[in-house]
Each structure stands twice: as C-alpha cells, then as structure tokens.
Chain A
Amino acid sequence: MSTDAVVLPRTELTSRPIVARLHDWVTTVDHKRLGILYIVYALVFLVIGGIEATIIRIQLIRPHNDFVSPQVFNRLFTMHGTTMIFFVAMPVLFGFANYLIPLLIGARDMAFPRLNAFSFWMTAFGGLLLYFSLIGANGLYGAGNAPDVGWFAYAPLTSQTFSVGHSTDFWTLALLVSGFGSIGTAINIVATILCMRCPGMTLAKMPLFAWLTLVMGGLVILAVSPLTAAQIMLLIDRYLGGHFFDTQAGGSAVIWMHFFWVFGHPEVYILVLPAFAFASEIIPVFSRKPLFGYPVMVGATIAIGFISMSVWAHHMFTVGMGSAANTFFVISSMTIAVPTGIKIFNWLATMWGGKIEFKTPMLFCIAFILQFLIAGLTGIMLAAAPFDWHLGNSYFVVAHFHYVIVGAILFTLFAAFYYWFPKMLGKMYCETLGKLHFWLFVIGFHLTFDFMHIPGLLGMPRRIYTYEPGRGWDTWNLIVTIGVFFQAAGILVFLGNLIWSYVRGKPAGNDPWDAWTLEWSTNSPPPAYNFYSIPTVKSRRPLWDLKHPDDPDWKYE
C-alpha cells in the first residue's frame, strides 16, 4: 500500500525493505493508514484491558478471595476503566471515523492530514505514559505504581495527602496528552465534514454516519476540554500548592465531580454515537432497504448532542446537591430517552418489510438493538433519582454501563469490523468463524452482564476487592466470572479470524455487500487518493442510483 500518487507495480511494493515500509507507516498522513494505526493500537489495549477485567473477575469469583491484594485490585479497576475508555474505545472509534469519513463524503483525505497524524501520536503516547506508571511512578516514598484512584479520580483522594507518589500524575498526564489528541481529531472531523464533501452532497444528503460523527466531534470539542481544565487544576493542586479541590482550605470535592462529569457524561455519547453510525450504515444494507426516517434520525442525533450536555449530574444524585438540582437532572436525563428511543424504532422500521440477511455484521447489529434497548431501560431506572440512591455506585450501574459499552458499542464495532474488513484489506473474512465469534461472545456477554445486575439490587457496591459471604452475592458473582471466559474465547476467535482472513481470505472486490454509499465505488483497499475522480452525487445512496437508474433515490427523498 503505497502513499505515492502513482500506483507502483506489485513486485516493487512487496520487495521494499521492512525499515522503509515501517517508516512509511510512522510518517504517514494518509487518513486510511492512520485509521488502521488507531484500530490496531486499540486492539492491543483491548487485550490488555480484557486481561485486567479477567483478573478482577477471578478475584471476585468467591467471597474473601485472595487472588490479588487490595492494592493490586484497586489499580486493576482503575487501569481497566481508564484503558478501555481512553485507549480502546476512543482510538478505535476515531480510527473508523478517520478511515471512513473521507470515503463516505467523496473526499481524498481529512481536512488537516498532518494534524491527523499528530493527534494519533499524541493519543498513542498517552497510552504508553499511562502504562509507564507501572515502572515509573515510585516517587519519593517508594509508593506509587499504576494509578489506583478509579477512572474518575475523585478529589480529595487524588490530593498529595491521599495519593502519594506519582501514580495519579501518570493518570492525569496520560489523559491530558491524549485529550489534546482527541481534540485535534475532533477539529479535523468537524472541518472535514463541513468543508470537504463532494459536489452535490449537501448536509441533508450525507450518510447518517457523517452526521453522527459530526455531532460526536462537536461533543469532543465541548466535553474533553472541561476534563483538560480539571486536570490542569489537579496538577496545580498537587504541585503548585493550589486549593481547587483542597477541602481543608475551603475547596470543594464536589466541584471536581461536576467538572469531571461535564466531561464524563458527554463522553459516553461520544462513544455511543459512532456505534449508532455503524448500525445506521449496516442495518439498511442487510435489510435491503434505506434507513427509515433519515431526517428524524438527523434531528434525534442533534437533540442527543445538545441534551447530553445537560444531564451530567445524574452521576451525582447521592452527593447531596439538594432536591431542586436532583429534580432537574432527573427530567433532563429522562428527556434524552426520547430521541434515543426514536432511533431504536427507526432501526426496527428499517428492518421491517425488508429481506434480512444474517451475515455476521447483521447478527451483531441485531444483538445491538436488543442490548441497547435493555441498557437504555436500565438507564431510565437510574435516572429516577431515588431509585439511583440504591442503584448508583453499585454493581447495577456497572452492569448498566457495560451493557452500553460492550453490548451496544463493542457489538456494533464488531459489526463494523466485519462489514468494512473487505474494503480495508481487500479480502473477505471467514463467515463461519465470524458466526462462531458472535455466538461465543453473545453467550458470554449475557452470562456476565445480565446477572451482574442482581448483586447490585442485593446491595453490592462497586470497586470492592472482596465481599462478605452471607449477603446473597456469591452465586451471581460466580456466574458473572464464568461469562468472562466465553467472551475471551470469542475475542480470540475474532483476532484469529482477522489474521487468518488477512493472510488467506478470498479477494473481496469493490462491493461485496451490494451496498449504496461511496466507499463501495472504489477499490478494495482504496488507492491512496481514494477516488479516481471526485464524484458528484444527487441522493443519499449514490450507488443505488447507479444500480437502479430507472428508480433512483433522488426522486423520492
């Protein structure tokens, strides 16, 4: 895969020395290569984060277990959460956005290719910085190691008093650095989508994927910045003697929570909007129908973007904000259920009356709809503040958010992997292995995360390295842990499928799915310049128009 504009004959490409090819990858500014770099980076950290989760679950398989010490356990759940959100979910979603957006909108690259590369390397460096804490954090007291303050690092646990050594600083700096990378990518996304669409592709004619990515980019710009600000404040507290979160000097621990969750809640929408994007591209193709209700879906997307900035304190219902504030955040959190539900109904309506093909991408999308429905409903339970006074900070919440992140986001990510694998690598994946991955993972997912709700309902709080017998939690924890091994098996099958198919898969051709958006009009993998000539489009499904000249979309839209 050369980055030159001229396509070299095949023999020259494969005989270039490995150092030269690595150099190409390290210095690339091509959105497709950067996309793949993001995705591979995320997969490596997915395995690491998964191992952390496995150790956590083994420790919790029975009460008073001593598989790991409390100190190690506390580091594990901190690293697991931080890794999965910042160094798996965000990079992989940025990776897919980077790869696909220019192809979907008929552009040759992102708006700012060098900023793109810079942002990737910032994010990558952040991840390495976080894990360097395992060796580098020892600090003055010989204390320190990986951070152990939880992924949301509440004050004053993060002050110098309670977090000696440098572990918390590694957390702060790693996220600060990768935050700059995220903001850079978001600026790129917004500029690309607004400025580089091909002729004819008005905002109303671009794929919903582009809308969802645009709103996601806007959310990153507005939400990651508050986290950056809060982390600067934390560093000022820890090293310059500041008092932002110093409760002994009159400072407020609660204000950290507000600042963090002003980031933290939109963050989960940043993660889920791309999941919606994948579903909105894949479900229509495998139902053989256009996406139902495109204008309403756009409206719902924008509504979700706005409302998501107003719900953050539903993470703080137990903090003592007063009944007025609690009531406000109840109504805002429940309101966001309306546009979200509209999306679920529109996906269902897309399938309705269609001819559904149960290829691997579609299997994952169908499971996504079911699981996202459940996740949304447990979210409504959590939005009812008094109910949250029990459920918050318990295993019910842990089950809820894993239902969203794994059950919705990871499932659609798997769908996206299988759907666009032929385009990115030019080969078809093995469908049998794909289905095996699906069933192993779905069984494991439900074993773990369905049953995880129950200990929460029976009073089990989160972030505990062990628990008391006799509280009725034992059996459920055992089942939850068993499910992990099914999921691990599924992931191994998935990784094996990726590698095997890359090496031995059948050539995929331009358009193996008989799909309708622009990326399927060019080669698999696309040449460096994406399209032979920049297309002009007249509808949301340009390839449908070409394949059905007697019945084009633009007559009906």
Chain B
Amino acid sequence: MRSRGPSNWRARVSLVVLILGPGTALADAAQPLSPTNIFAPASTPAKSIFGLSLFVLAVTGTIFLVVFSLLLYSVVRFRKRNNDDGIEPPQVYGSNQVELAWTIIPILIVVALFMATARVIAVVQRTPPPGNAVAVTAIGHQFWWEYRYPELGVVTANELHVPVSDPAHPTPTFINLLSVDTDHSFWVPRLAGKTDLIPNHPNTMWMDPQETGVYLGQCAQYCGTQHAKMLLRVYVQSKDEFDRWIQQQRQPATTSIAVSEGQRIFETTACINCHTVSGTVASGRFGPDLTHLMSRDTIAAGAASNTPENLRLWIRNPNAIKPGSLMPAMELEEKDLDALTAYLETLR
C-alpha cells in the first residue's frame, strides 16, 4: 500500500533545483521518486521542515548562481591572453567599501535564515501533546523496535500502527523514545525528521499523518552490526481500522491443539527467555513480542517478509537473513523446527 502525496510535483521540482554539477534527467513522472523522499511530506512536522527547506534552498541556490557566475566570468574575462604583453596587471590591494558590502549582505541573509529556522524549531519541538493524542513508547534494541501503547495496553514490535489525522481535528501520535542498549534513531522521512533513541536520555517526537498508507524508514544512528536492517514500517490507518488493530493486539495468544507440539517446543526451549507470548509462560523481553507475530508483514525488523519459509529459516539460521543479529540459531531438529514454525504461524 503506497501513498502518493498531492505535493509530489513540488518534490520533483525541488530536486531539479538541487542538482548541481552535471545535470541528469529524472525518472518519469508516473512513479513517485521514493517512498522515503523528504520532499514528499505527509505529516505536519515533515511539512514544516519542507517549507523551511524550500526557503533555504531558494536562498542558497541564488547565492550559488551569483557567485558561480562571478567565478565563471572572471575565469573567462581575466585569463591571460596568448598575445600578453608581459606587464603585470594593476596591483589592487583591497577596497573597504566592497568588503563592507559583502559582509553586511551575508549577515542579513543569515538573520533571515535564522529567524525562519527558529520558528520551525518552535513549531516542531514545543508543541505539547493534545488530550486525544495516541501515546506510544518506542524502545530501541539492537536491531529491532519495541512499541508499547501504555494507555491502550498493547505491546508489539517493528511495525508501528497509528491513526490517520484529520487536519481540521488532529489526532497526532506522540512517541517517547527510549533505548535499552546503544544509540538508535527513528527516521521515517515522510512523517517527521529523525529523533535519536539514546539510553538514559528519553526523547519525544510526534507525527500527525494526513494520508493512510505504509510509510517506510530505518534506523539512522549507527548501532552495531545490523544497523542497516533495523527497518521501520509505520501503518497509518483510519480510526476504525486502528481501533480494530488495537483490539486484536490486546487479545492473548490463540491456542490450538493442532500445534500443541510446536507450542511445547517453544515453551521448553530457550525461546521463552527472550520472547513474550501473552497468555503463556513465555514472558521474555529481550526479543520482540510474538503474541501477534502473524499480524505483521515482515520479520526481523523488516529484513525479510513474513512467510513460513522465511520464518523457518530465521529460526534455523538467523545469520542467513541478518548476519550479526542477536537472535541465536536454535539448533533444532528439522521436525521440531517444522512443528515450531507451524505453532508460530497460528499467532495471529
């Protein structure tokens, strides 16, 4: 489910403005440039930044054109000709008026840029959460994301669900950012700028996505071996869909006789040391909550899609999917692995 913002044309124009150096034709107009394009904002923080960025680009672009033209002109006009008479040109040492001019004008430009910037900082960082905001706590781990909705009683992992926000009656989501190990950073470009998750240093961010869809991103602060595959998926849903999702996530795990063998294996091996399946003895917190594993599109924080084959491979040999992840290879016999996978497949 991809979402195309109505402001996509602006994104393309900005990018054209930006291409300095050898020009290049861009991808054809039918495709969105990228699902993680910072110039296709879909949420107020991202839109505020987008507005500021256009202003900054306009100013810097103008400066570039002026100075570049002067450079080009001087290189052409004042080059030494072939028929040069060998006499040194007039030795000019300086000019106070000129120095004053190109000091004052940059100062004025800096003042203008600063004021525009300060305003956006205030808008994004000093907005208090309204009463109807959805509160999420995001906890960074090496190399996955834990999400808790404390007021709604939901614990999940890697795929964040938030309600869409109507600009007239906003229902933003405010996220508290924590970490259990090293530094991470939450970056979903179309929704907001990145904010870091730093142990012992809680941060907050917010978003109010205005179109439903799946938004992509990934960890943006080097956190160790598998930093590259600590991907982000944010599912922006209508109010009804979101409420339904919450209801489903609050249920304890479904059980079934058909997979009791797999459940037995799960509960008697090391799995329960790291994972939680609510309603069972498994209450480990080192790894992702698996109660509703099958409600997710991907596993291993986006490193693979959630298919039975991938799930089986992940349990047997995580290094085949995400070398260096902290999930150990479970050293199970093939038939146990089949039973275990079948059990996990029932955790909707």
Note whether A and B contact each other (Cβ less than 8 A): yes
| A residues lining the B interface (CB < 8 Å) | 69-71, 74, 148, 150, 154, 156-157, 161-162, 247-248, 250-254, 287-290, 292-296, 318-320, 322-323, 326-327, 330-331, 334-335, 337-338, 341-342, 344-346, 348-349, 351-358, 366, 369-370, 373-374, 377-378, 380-381, 383-394, 446-447, 450-451, 453-454, 457-468, 470-473, 548, 553, 556-557
Decide if A457 touches B15 in the complex (CB within 8 Å).
Answer: yes
Distance of A377 from chain B, by nearest CB (Å): 4
B67 & A344 in contact (Cβ 8 Å cutoff): yes
The answer, yes or no, to whether B33 is at the interface (CB within 8 Å) is yes
Contacting residue for A330 out of B121, B182, B198, CB 8 A = B121
- What would 15 more interface pairs be, CB under 8 Å, given A369-B71, A393-B194? A71-B323, A154-B182, A162-B182, A320-B204, A323-B125, A337-B106, A349-B92, A351-B74, A351-B75, A366-B75, A387-B117, A390-B189, A458-B189, A463-B227, A468-B218
B38 on interface, CB distance cutoff 8 Å? yes
B-chain residues with CB within 8 Å of residue A388 when the two chains form the complex: 193
Contact A355–B78 (Cβ < 8 Å): yes
In the complex, the answer to whether A356 meets B182 with C-beta atoms within 8 Å is: no
Contact (A288, B38) CB under 8 Å given A351-B78, A356-B78: no
Q: How far is the CA of A479 from the CA of B297 in the complex (A)?
A: 32
- Partner of B222 from the list A157, A334, A355 (CB cut-off 8 Å) is A157
* A252→B200 contact, CB < 8 A: yes
Give the interface residue-count category, chain B: 35 or more
User: What chain B residues lie within 8 Å of A385 (beta carbons)?
Assistant: 117, 121
Q: Is B332 an interface residue (CB 8 A)?
A: no
Q: Is the CB of A254 within 8 A of B198?
A: yes
Say yes or no: A323 contacts B126, CB within 8 Å.
yes
Q: Measured between alpha carbons, how far is A388 from B49 in the docked complex, in Å?
A: 9
**Does A471 lie within 8 Å of B216, measured CB to CB?**
yes
Contact A348 B56 (CB under 8 A): no
Q: Is B37 an interface residue (CB 8 A)?
A: yes
With A and B bound together, what is the CA distance between A94 and B135 in angstroms? 54
Query: Is the CB–CB distance between A459 and B37 below 8 Å?
Result: yes
CB distance from B158 to the nearest CB of A (A): 14
Q: Kindly state the separation between the CA atoms of A156 and B102 in the bound complex, as whole angstroms.
A: 45
**What is the CB-to-nearest-CB distance from B229 to chain A, in angstroms, rounded to a whole number?**
8
- A331-B114, A356-B75, A473-B34 given as contacts; is B216 within 8 A of A288 (CB)? no
CA distance A247 to B107 in the complex (A): 41
With the chains together, A451 CA to B177 CA distance in Å? 33
Closest to A157 in B: B182
- Assuming the A-B contacts A320-B196, A393-B185, are A288 and B89 also in contact, with contact meaning beta carbons closer than 8 angstroms in the complex? yes
Give bound CA distance, A334 to B181, whole Å. 34
Quick check: B114 and A348 within 8 Å, CB to CB? no
From A318, A386, A465, A468, residue with most partner B Cβ within 10 Å: A386
Is A296 a contact partner of B94 (Cβ separation < 8 A)? yes
Contact of B124 with A by CB under 8 A: yes
Residues on B facing A (Cβ under 8 Å): 15, 18-22, 24, 27, 33-39, 48-49, 52-53, 56-57, 59-60, 63-64, 67-68, 70-71, 74-75, 78-80, 84, 88-95, 98-99, 102-103, 106-107, 110, 113-114, 116-118, 120-122, 124-126, 142, 177, 181-183, 185, 187, 189, 192-196, 198-204, 216-229, 231, 302, 323-324
A residues in contact with B60, CB < 8 Å: 377-378, 380-381
Q: How far is the CA of A346 from the CA of B106 in the complex (A)?
A: 14
Report whether A253 and B199 are in contact in the complex, using a CB–CB cutoff of 8 Å. Answer: yes
From residue A506, how far is it (CB to closest CB) to chain B in Å?
22
User: What's the Cα separation between A345 and B103 when bound, in Å?
Assistant: 10
B91→A289 contact, CB < 8 A = yes
A-chain residues with CB within 8 Å of residue B36 when the two chains form the complex:
458-460, 471-472
* List of 9 A-B pairs having minimum Cβ-Cβ separation, nearest first: A389-B193, A459-B36, A472-B34, A450-B21, A464-B228, A320-B203, A247-B200, A247-B199, A458-B34
Q: CB-nearest residue of chain A relative to B302?
A: A468
B183 adjacent to A353 (CB under 8 Å): no
Nearest-Cβ distance from residue B335 to partner chain A, whole angstroms: 31
Q: Hey, which chain A residues are within 8 Å of B187, CB to CB? A: 390, 393, 459, 461
> Across the interface, which residues of A come within 8 angstroms of B113, CB to CB?
334, 380, 384
CB-based nearest B residue for A470? B35
B344 CB, nearest partner CB in chain A, Å:
24
Complexed CA–CA distance, A323 and B117 (Å): 11
Interfacial chain B residues near A386, Cβ < 8 Å? 48-49, 52, 117, 120-121, 124, 193
Question: Which of A295, A320, A473 has most B Cβ within 10 Å?
Answer: A320
With beta carbons under 8 angstroms apart, the residue of B68, B110, B217 that contacts A335 is: B110
Contact partner of A348 (CB less than 8 A), chosen from B74, B183, B195, B324, is B74
Contact present for B37 and A338 (CB under 8 Å): no
With A381-B60, A473-B34 already in contact, the answer to whether A288 and B88 are too (CB < 8 A) is yes
Bound-state CA distance A370–B15 (Å) is 20
Contact A446 to B21, CB < 8 A, known contacts A70-B228, A338-B110: yes
A323 and B122 in contact, given A295-B94, A348-B67 (Cβ under 8 angstroms): yes
Contact check: which of A74, A292, A348, A370 meets B93 at CB < 8 Å?
A292
Which residues of the partner chain B approach A358 to less than 8 Å between Cβ atoms?
79
Given A70-B323, A386-B193, residue A294 in contact with residue B93 (CB < 8 A): yes
For this complex, 25 residue pairs linking A to B, each with C-beta atoms less than 8 Å apart, are: A70-B228, A74-B222, A148-B225, A157-B183, A293-B93, A295-B94, A319-B196, A320-B196, A320-B203, A342-B102, A349-B92, A352-B74, A380-B59, A384-B113, A387-B49, A387-B53, A389-B49, A389-B192, A390-B193, A393-B187, A393-B194, A459-B187, A463-B228, A471-B34, A472-B35
CB of B78 within 8 A of CB of A287, answer: yes
Docked Cα-Cα span, A361 to B101, in Å, equals 30
Known: A334-B114, A472-B33. A353 touches B78 (CB 8 A): yes
Bound state CA distance, A354 and B88, in angstroms? Answer: 8
Contacts of A157 in B (CB 8 A): 182-183, 222-224
* Chain B residues within 8 Å of A295, by CB: 94
- Residues from chain A with Cβ under 8 Å of B34 in the complex: 458-459, 471-473
Nearest residue, chain B, Cβ from A541:
B91
Q: How far is the CA of A381 from the CA of B27 in the complex (A)?
A: 25
Q: What residue of chain B has the Cβ atom nearest to residue A479's Cβ?
A: B24
A353 and B90 contacting across the interface, CB-CB below 8 Å: yes
Considering the chains assembled together, what is the distance between the CA atoms of A468 and B219 in angstroms?
A: 13
Q: Across the interface, do A74 and B223 meet the contact criterion of CB distance under 8 Å?
A: no
In the assembled complex, the CB of B11 is this many whole angstroms from the nearest CB of chain A, namely 9
